[in-house]
Amino acid sequence: MSMSENRGGSGLDVDSIPNGPGAAAILAAGIGCAVVGILALAGDASNAIGKLLNFYNPTGTLSGVTTLAIIVWLVSWFALNRSWRTKNVSMGWINVAAFALLAVGFLLTFPPFMDLLQGK
């Protein structure tokens, strides 16, 4: 067996697997994380948005924040995967975007940073 055979988990030749589906999953994960943070901030900053995000009263705003974040994550993953499934894309830019979005997710869920943005 040559080194180019069966190196991927799928058993395919490594060079024959486009990186598009992987890039789509990576970028979509970043988008999902960022949306958690953005909606958490929006729900905290605005009572009206907070009430709109109250999908399930016992859980409150958190129910809408997480439900919408999961939907946006899965829809963006599906859409990106459709666009890139047979392509090779620039992983450098995908990584920069995905890590930036991940950082947005961490920062916007951190209450002192949320308060700072709202001038509290």
Please give the residue ranges that form the binding site for other proteins (CB under 8 A): 6-10, 14-15, 17, 19, 21-23, 25-26, 28-29, 32-33, 36-37, 40, 44, 56, 58-60, 62-63, 65-66, 69-70, 73, 91-92, 94-95, 98-99, 102, 105-106, 109-112
Query: Least separation, in Å, of the C-beta of 84 and other proteins?
Result: 13
**Cβ of residue 48: shortest distance to other proteins, in angstroms?**
19
* Sign of the torsion angle spanned by Cα atoms 51, 56, 57, 60: negative
Q: With respect to other proteins, which residue has the nearer C-beta, 92 or 119?
A: 92
Count of beta carbons in the 10 Å neighbourhood of residue 92:
8
Please give the distance of CA 104 from its chain centroid, rounded to a whole number. 10
Cβ atoms 13, 84 nearer than 8 A? no
